[in-house]
Amino acid sequence: MKNRFIGRPGLGLALFIVLASCLTAATPPPGFIALFNGKDLSGWRGGQTYDHRQLLALPEAERAALIGKWTSALTELKDGKPHWRVEDGVIVNDGFGDYATTVRDYGDFELLLEYKIDPGADSGVYLRGVPQVQIWDPTAPDPKGHGYAKGSGGLWNNAVGTPGRDPLVRADRPVGEWNHLRILMVGARVSVWLNGQAVVDHVVLENYYDRRLPAAERRPVPPRGPIQLQTHGGPTSWRNIYLREIPPAEGVAYLAARGNEGFTPIFNGRDLEGWAGARDSVAIADRSLTWLPGKGGVLYWATELRDFEARLQFKLHKAGNNGLAIRYPGSGNAAYDGMTELQILDDQYEINKPAKLDPRQVHGSIYGMVPAARGYQHPIGEWNFQTVSVQGSRIRVELNGTPILDADVNTIDLATVLEGKAHPGLKRASGFFGFAGHNDPVAFRDITVKRLP
């Protein structure tokens, strides 16, 4: 079911009041499921601040034992009562014990919940197991300067000073009253509304677990993971916890509608006006261009670019292979004579081909030189949304809302590149943007470009 709110990032107070009225009902709003049944903690397990990828990588028996230990901690007694309990249709935590964690993992989602804190409480909502949307008492003393007075709802574990770490406005209700929280997560991009006011607007959630690693080794947040309710420092109560999974087509439409100011369409959806190169290698239908089977070559927009950002959608078949030509000179091989080729490739290529891949050949990689993070494509047959930014020698790629590559080509040791091939075009300062066909019917649409200063 299409959700009437997802395309409204600045959800108004009037609409939120309507939504909040649904939250008090016995059944979830249309399209949502209840994560809490109002009776007990069925569907929840224990958890901690623990990298979900690391948890999944454990041997099954070891993983089950660890989860069992965390889950037992939920019901440990303090003053005769368990840390986590259900009272009158409300989840209550005393401020101690491990975190309530969904048994299921989720990808893109919209989450609605209500919470209430006691004075001095400090809590949060982990997204895909990653901390966190911050919840705390904005009136509490703050000797360490954490920013309590700025209010709740920010992505507190993002880097200090970055957008979204602190909420845009203080929207908390007085301590002891119920607050309404709405969280939208598409890829790694998160938007948060607290009591009907936007407090985080389309910000990338950083991966807390990798932040101390060298920049080249950091991974984005996982593509799937649990929802966690974290509490410490004081009692917190939770109720009306509802979630709606966002399907790929809706996520693409949402991302395509955000941040497109200043972009110019370079493909009109009807013909190849303004394009040069391998024009006979593609067919055009339904406002998309599709590479013809058995056809190769480079099709490029015949306007030279220096620094730019491109936005586009692509759709793959099994083992589909294509590429984005970056600063292509108009002839030769895009990967070597141009600045580079960014891979467009089925994430399951080794299975569907089958074939062996070097990590620097997977989707989004600077071909043969820098690997991209993997696992963020939509299923075969679904459209994907991708942005590419090229500024000087730095290239960044974001796939379906998740940054998967950020690299400076000037730092590449050419002695280590795949097959030791020369890259004479690597330091090109300008060139053309286009597609490097590899005989597979990969489709593209909604191709736009913005020049960068």
pLDDT at residue number 27: 86
Alpha-carbon gap, residue 182 to 424, rounded angstroms: 50
* Strand, coil or helix: 111: strand
| CA-CA-CA-CA torsion sign (416, 420, 421, 422) | positive
In the sheet that 275-277 helps form, which strands lie side by side, from edge to edge?
A: 275-277, 296-305, 431-438, 321-328, 340-345
Amino acid in position 197:
Q
pLDDT at residue number 26: 56
With cut-offs at 50, 70 and 90, classify the pLDDT of residue 321: very high
Contact indicator for 128, 221 with CB cutoff of 8 Å: yes
On average, the pLDDT of the chain sits at 93
Segment 174-178 shows an average pLDDT of: 97
- List CB contacts of 350: < 8 A, sequence separation 6 or more: 356, 357
Segment 332-347 shows an average pLDDT of: 97
pLDDT at residue number 215: 84
Neighbouring-strand partners of residue 324 = 342, 435
User: Taking 90 as the threshold, does the pLDDT of residue 419 lie above it?
Assistant: no
End-to-end CA distance of the chain: 41
CB burial of residue 159 (10 Å; 0-12, 13-18, 19+): exposed
Q: Is 293 left (phi over 0), alpha (psi -120 to 50) or beta?
A: beta
Per DSSP, 284 falls in state E
Taking every pair of Cα atoms in the chain, the longest distance, rounded to a whole number of angstroms, is 77
The phi and psi torsions of 409 (rounded to 5 degrees) equal -65, -20
pLDDT at residue number 307: 98
pLDDT at residue number 13: 39
Q: Is 257 left (phi over 0), alpha (psi -120 to 50) or beta?
A: alpha
When comparing pLDDT for 354 and 255, which is higher?
255
| CA-CA-CA-CA torsion sign (389, 397, 315, 188) | negative
User: Taking 60 as the threshold, does the pLDDT of residue 6 lie above it?
Assistant: no
pTM for this model (two decimals): 0.93
Neighbouring-strand partners of residue 99 = 47
Per-residue pLDDT tens for 223-255?
Answer: 999 999 998 889 999 999 999 999 999 999 999
Per-residue pLDDT tens for 364-413?
Answer: 999 999 999 999 999 999 999 999 999 999 999 999 999 999 999 999 99
Segment 26-38 shows an average pLDDT of: 92
Torsion angle, CA of 439/381/376/58, rounded to 10 degrees? Answer: -110
CA angle 148, 154, 159 (to 5 degrees): 95
User: Taking 80 as the threshold, does the pLDDT of residue 17 lie above it?
Assistant: no
Segment 421-425 shows an average pLDDT of: 93
pLDDT at residue number 117: 97
CB atoms within 10 A of CB 140: 18
The phi and psi torsions of 310 (rounded to 5 degrees) equal -120, 145
Query: H-type helices in 166-261, by residue range?
Result: 248-256
Neighbouring-strand partners of residue 309 = 389, 450
Contact indicator for 229, 99 with CB cutoff of 8 Å: yes
Torsion angle, CA of 13/14/15/17, rounded to 10 degrees? Answer: 80
Per DSSP bridges, beta strands 282-285 and 288-291 are antiparallel
